[in-house]
Structure 1
Amino acid sequence: MQPNVIMILIDDLGWMDLSCQGSSFYETPNIDKLCAEGMAFDQAYAACPVCSPSRASILTGKYPARLKVTDWIDHENYHPCRGKLIDAPYVKELPLSEFSLAKAFQEAGYQTWHVGKWHLGKAAAYPQFHGFDVNRGGSWWGHPKKGYFSPYHMENLSDGPEGEYLTDRISSEAISLIQQRDRQRPFFLNLWHYAVHTPLQAKAEDIAYFEAKAKRMGLDQQEPFEIGEAFPIMQKKNQRVTRRIIQSDPVYAAMIKALDDGVGRLMEILKAEALDENTIVIFTSDNGGLATAEHSPTCNFPLSEGKGWMFEGAVREPLFFRWPGKIAAGSVSHALATSPDFYPTLLELCGLPLRPEQHKDGMSLAPVLLHSETELDRGPIFWHYPHYGNQGGTPGSSLRCGKWKYIEFYEDQSVRLFDLEQDLSEAHNAAAEHPDLVSQFHILLHNWLDEVDAEYPKENPNAEQDMA
C-alpha cells in the first residue's frame, strides 16, 4: 500500500519555539523525538509572514503572489491597512479553480481528512470543496474566537465537555480518524492546529508548571519587553511595537506543551495501529512566532522580528520529515525549502504522478529526503507581502539566493542585503558594499514579480491626515 501522510501544521510557531531548536524554556520532548527520527531542514521557510497565504501555498504548490492570496483572510473589514501606503487588494479565499494537494490524493484513492484551522475562505471554499472527505474544525475563523476551552461555538466541530481544551480535542479528532479508517486505503491527514495563535489560553496545571520553571530560571525577574516605535498604520497609530526579548511567558509555554502532548499521542497511535513505518509525518509552521505585538508571547532571537515582518523571524520555520526506513534518522539538510515544495515532494514520495502545471512554484525535496543530496538545483525563493503586518511590519518583497537575503521595502524604496551565513540576525545591511548583487537581485525579484502579475500597495493621498 502507498504510504500514509500526516501534515502537522502549527499556527504561529516560531523557529526557536522548540527545545530541539534551542529553546531552554519551552519543553517539547515528543516533537524533539519526531525530529530526531527523521530529517530536519535548517533553512526552511513559510511562503508568507502571515498564515492564510502560506496555507494556500501548501495546498496549491504556488506562491501566494501567483494566487493573489497575499494576506491573512479578513472577513471583518480590518483591511486595507493605511499608512504611508494603502494595502494592495487580494483574494479572500483559496480559489476553487486550483487542483489542491488533497484533490491529488483523493484522485489517487486516498482518504483525505482535514482537522483544525482552515482560514482559506467562507463556506463555499471550505475543505470539503478542495478535496477533503472530512472536515473537523475547519472554517473561516483564523483563531478560536470563543477561546480554547469548550464550549467552542465553532463550525464543523461540536462542543466538548465544558472546559475541554481545544488543542487536546484537535489531537483526539485526528486520532479517532486514524482508528476508524478504511484499512484497505491509505490516508492523507491535514492536521492544522489552531495553537499557538492568540488568545493566549492554556490549562491551569501547565501554566503553574511553567510559572515555577520561570522562577527557577530567574526569568520572572527579567524585563521581557522592549518598547519600540509607533505602529506605521492608522488602525494602530496610537500603539507602539513591543518586542519580546526573552522566552518567558508561562501561558505560551503551556500552549506549546499541549501541542507536544498531542504529537506524542499521535505517534503512539501510529505504533499501536502498525502504521508507523508506512506513514510520512511532516511537522512545520505557517509563519514565524508572534514577537512584536498582541501580547508578544515569544522571542525568535537570534532571528530578527517575527510574524508580519519581512525579516527571518517571520518566515524561517522548523521543518521535519519522518519516514522510518526511508528517511535517515538524525539527518539535517541545509537545502532551501519553502511552502510550495510540499505538493510535489509528497506526490513523489508517494509514487503519484507530478502535476507541474499545478505545483509550478514548488520543487520536490524527495532527492534530499531519500538520498541525502546536499543541494537542490534551484534558483532563488521569493516572498511578496504588499501589506502592512498588524505586528508592525511594512509592505515589501524579498528573495533568498544562496547565502543572501535581499529585501525591498515599498514605503521608501529602500533595500536590505544580508549575508545570512555571517549575519543570521540581519543586523548589518550589506547593500552599499555589494551594489552588483543589489542590481542582480533587483532584476531577479522584479522579473519574478512580473511573471506572477503581482499586486502592489498604492500611495496614500491622505497619509498625513490618517497618521496625525
Structure 2
Amino acid sequence: MKVLTTLAGILAVSLAAHAANKPNLIFILADDLGYTDVACFGSKYYETPNIDRLAKQGMRFTDGYTCGPNCQPTRAALMSGQYMPRTGVYTVGSIDRFDWQSRPLQPVDNVTSLPLEKITIANALKKAGYATGMFGKWHLGNDAAHHPSKRGFDEAIESAGLHFDFVTDPKADYPEGQYLADFLTDKAVDFVRRHKDEPFFLYLPHFGVHSPHQAKEELIAKFKDKPSAGGHHSPAYAAMIASVDESVGRIVALLDELKLADNTLVIFASDNGGVGGYDREGIRQAQGITDNAPLRGGKGMLYEGGTRVPFIFRWPGKVRSGTTCHEPIISVDLYPTFLEIAGAQPPANYPLDGKSFVKLLTGDGTGTLQRDAIYWHFPGYLGAGAGSWRMTPAGAIRAGDWKLIEFFEDHRLELYNLRDDLSQTNDLATKLPDRTKELHGKLLAWRKELNAPMPTKNIPSTQPGVSKKKKNKKASAD
C-alpha cells in the first residue's frame, strides 16, 4: 500500500509538472487598428514603441488577414476556428441595419451571436487544463447564454452591447475616471499574477482604437503639434493607439518580472483594417480617421485595406527575434495553432477551417503552409451614409500572390497580383482570363463545400418586414 501511495504521489507531481510546462498564451487584439497604424508596419506619425519591441523580439507577419472586413465576423472566426459560412456571422447587426431595399440583391440573414453549438478555443484550452480569462470586447452575444463565462472562459469582463456597458463574471466595478484600456489591462495583469503557476490563456480584446475616439488628454497633447504623415493625422486616434501600446508594454514587462516570458507566446493583432482610405474609392460620405496606404480601401471592404492587419508573435527561445514571414495567415489559423502549442487535440467531429502555423513561428520566416488558398464570403451590405456603400455582396480568394474578388450584384471579377501591385490598382481579370477562371472556380468550389448562402434577387413584394421598416435607426458600432 505504501508503494502504491508513493507511486501515486510521484504520478501526481509528474502530471502537475507537465501541466505547468505547457506554454501560456496571451492574445491582445486591437479594434479597428489598420495595417500601417503601428510604426513597425510603416507609420511615421503614430508611436508604438512597445509593439515595435514585440516585433523586434519576435516574428512579424506581413500578410496576416482577418476573416471579415469588420468586427463581429472576425471575432466569431477567431473563437470558433471556422469561416463565416459555418458560423453564419457575416457582419454586425441585422440585415435591416442598412437600407438595402434600393439595391439589386436581398442580403443573407445574419446571425448576431456565436451559435451555442460552436466549440470556442477557450472551451478547447480549458479542457486541456488551461485557466482562461477574457477582458474586453466580446461582441459575440449579449444574453447570459452567450456570455464568455458560458463559452469557456473562467473569468470575463465584457461589454453588453455598448462599449462601456460592462457585464462581468466575477463582478467588477469600473472605477469612475479610469481610462478603459488601463482598466482592462489591470484586470489582465491580475489574472496573470494569480495563474502564474499554471498554464493560462489570456484574451485581451481592447475597445481601442474603435470610435468614439476618446483618449487621455496628456497623450493627445503629445501629438497636437506633430506633423501628419502618410494620411495619419489625428492626435486623439494617435493617443488611443499609444494607450493600446502601453497595455502591450505592461503585459510584456509583467511576463519578464514573473520569469514567464520564455514559456509564453504573446500575439498582437487587429480585428479588421483601419477606418480610412475611402476617399480614393470615391466614397466621400464615409468618415475616415486613418489611412491604410499603400493598401487599398479600409474597414468594411474586401480590398487589402479592409482585411490585412498587423500580426506579431513573441516567444523567446521559440520564435526567432527580428524575423519576418510573408506567408499568408488568417484568423481561423489561430485556433489550430493554439491547440498544437498547448498539446491539445482538436474537438471531435468539429471541423476547423484553419491550418496550424507553428512551423512558421519556429522557423526562419521562409516556410509555407500546405493549402491552396484562403477565402472570404460577405453576402451583405455595409453602408457609408447618404446612399453610398463601403461594401456590396462579394466574395474573395487569395492563392499565392493572386487575389480575386467577385462582386455578386453584377458578377464582376477583379484580379490582382499582390506581389507586383499591393495597392490593387491594376485589375488583370480581362488580361489573364485563364488565371481568373482558375481562381473563380476555386472560390465557387469552396462556397459549395461550405454550403455558403448567397444573396437573392431583391423583389420588393417579398422583402421581409419592409412594411414595418422605419427610417434607419442609428447603427450599432461595427
Match of 2:200 among 166, 187, 191: 187
Contact 1:335 1:375 in 2 (8 A): yes
* 1:127 alignment counterpart: 148
Shift of 1:71: 1.1
* 362-371 vs 396-405, greater mean Cα deviation: 362-371
* Structure 1 gaps, min length 5: 145-151, 220-244
* Structure 2 gaps, min length 5: 1-20, 279-284, 385-389, 472-478
* 1:68 alignment counterpart: 88
| 1:184-231 residue CA offsets vs partner (Å, 9 max, x unmatched) | 421000111111111111111111111111xxx266xxxxxxxxxxxx
Shift of 1:440: 1.0
Match of 1:393 among 391, 394, 416: 391
Q: Distance between the aligned counterparts of 1:450 and 1:218, measured in 2?
A: 47
Q: Distance between the aligned counterparts of 1:174 and 1:359, measured in 2?
A: 31
1:45 partnered with 2:46: no
Q: Distance between the aligned counterparts of 1:450 and 1:199, measured in 2?
A: 40
Match of 2:310 among 298, 306, 318: 318
SS in 1 for 2:298: coil
| 1:304-357 residue CA offsets vs partner (Å, 9 max, x unmatched) | 110101100000011111110011111111111001100111111222223474
Could you tell me which amino acid in structure 2 is paired with residue 255 of structure 1?
M
Q: Distance between the aligned counterparts of 1:254 and 1:80, measured in 2?
A: 34
* 2:13 alignment counterpart: none
Shift of 1:78: 2.1
1:78 partnered with 2:97: yes
* 2:242 alignment counterpart: 257
Q: % of aligned pairs identical?
A: 39
- Give the direction of change, closer, same or farther, for the CA distance of 1:461–1:418 in structure 2 (3 Å limit): same
Match of 1:155 among 162, 167, 176: 167
* 80-89 vs 299-308, greater mean Cα deviation: 80-89
Q: Distance between the aligned counterparts of 1:96 and 1:178, measured in 2?
A: 28
* 427-436 vs 158-167, greater mean Cα deviation: 158-167
Contact 1:68 1:455 in 2 (8 A): no
- Give the direction of change, closer, same or farther, for the CA distance of 1:202–1:155 in structure 2 (3 Å limit): same
TM-score under structure 1 length normalisation:
0.87
Q: Distance between the aligned counterparts of 1:367 and 1:418, measured in 2?
A: 28
* 1:206 alignment counterpart: 219
Q: Distance between the aligned counterparts of 1:264 and 1:58, measured in 2?
A: 23
SS in 2 for 1:128: helix
Q: Distance between the aligned counterparts of 2:359 and 2:25, measured in 1?
A: 18
Q: Distance between the aligned counterparts of 2:86 and 2:99, measured in 1?
A: 20
Contact 2:60 2:323 in 1 (8 A): yes
Match of 1:410 among 401, 408, 411: 408
Q: Distance between the aligned counterparts of 1:445 and 1:23, measured in 2?
A: 34
- Give the direction of change, closer, same or farther, for the CA distance of 1:411–1:115 in structure 2 (3 Å limit): same
Matches within 5 A, 1:206-245: 206-213=219-226, 217=227
* 2:344 alignment counterpart: 352
Shift of 1:422: 0.8
Larger radius of gyration, structure 1 or 2?
2
Contact 1:416 1:430 in 2 (8 A): yes
Could you tell me which amino acid in structure 2 is paired with residue 280 of structure 1?
L
Shift of 1:155: 2.3
Contact 2:159 2:165 in 1 (8 A): no
* 2:209 alignment counterpart: 196
SS in 2 for 1:282: strand
- Give the direction of change, closer, same or farther, for the CA distance of 1:370–1:357 in structure 2 (3 Å limit): farther
Shift of 1:395: 1.4
Contact 1:79 1:87 in 2 (8 A): no
Q: Distance between the aligned counterparts of 1:218 and 1:347, measured in 2?
A: 42
Structure 1 stretches of 4+ with a deviation exceeding 4 A read none
User: How many equivalent residue pairs?
Assistant: 427
Contact 1:73 1:120 in 2 (8 A): no
- Give the direction of change, closer, same or farther, for the CA distance of 1:334–1:212 in structure 2 (3 Å limit): same
Contact 2:61 2:324 in 1 (8 A): yes
Could you tell me which amino acid in structure 1 is paired with residue 97 of structure 2?
Y
Q: Distance between the aligned counterparts of 2:383 and 2:210, measured in 1?
A: 14
Matches within 5 A, 1:317-466: 317-355=309-347, 357-372=349-364, 373-391=366-384, 392-462=390-460
SS in 1 for 2:383: coil
Could you tell me which amino acid in structure 1 is paired with residue 245 of structure 2?
D
Contact 2:98 2:382 in 1 (8 A): no
Q: Distance between the aligned counterparts of 2:228 and 2:214, measured in 1?
A: 23
Q: Distance between the aligned counterparts of 2:431 and 2:380, measured in 1?
A: 29
- Give the direction of change, closer, same or farther, for the CA distance of 1:424–1:449 in structure 2 (3 Å limit): same
| 1:358-403 residue CA offsets vs partner (Å, 9 max, x unmatched) | 3521101011111335211111100001111234221100000010
* 383-392 vs 337-346, greater mean Cα deviation: 383-392
Contact 1:8 1:192 in 2 (8 A): yes
Q: Distance between the aligned counterparts of 1:59 and 1:452, measured in 2?
A: 18
SS in 2 for 1:65: helix
* 1:290 alignment counterpart: 275
Contact 1:12 1:196 in 2 (8 A): yes
Contact 1:89 1:455 in 2 (8 A): no
Q: Distance between the aligned counterparts of 1:268 and 1:448, measured in 2?
A: 43
Shift of 1:162: 2.8
TM-score under structure 2 length normalisation:
0.85
Shift of 1:83: 3.8
Could you tell me which amino acid in structure 1 is paired with residue 212 of structure 2?
P
* 1:21 alignment counterpart: 41
| 1:100-150 residue CA offsets vs partner (Å, 9 max, x unmatched) | 1101110111100011000001222111121111111x2442x52xxxxxx
Q: Distance between the aligned counterparts of 1:166 and 1:113, measured in 2?
A: 17
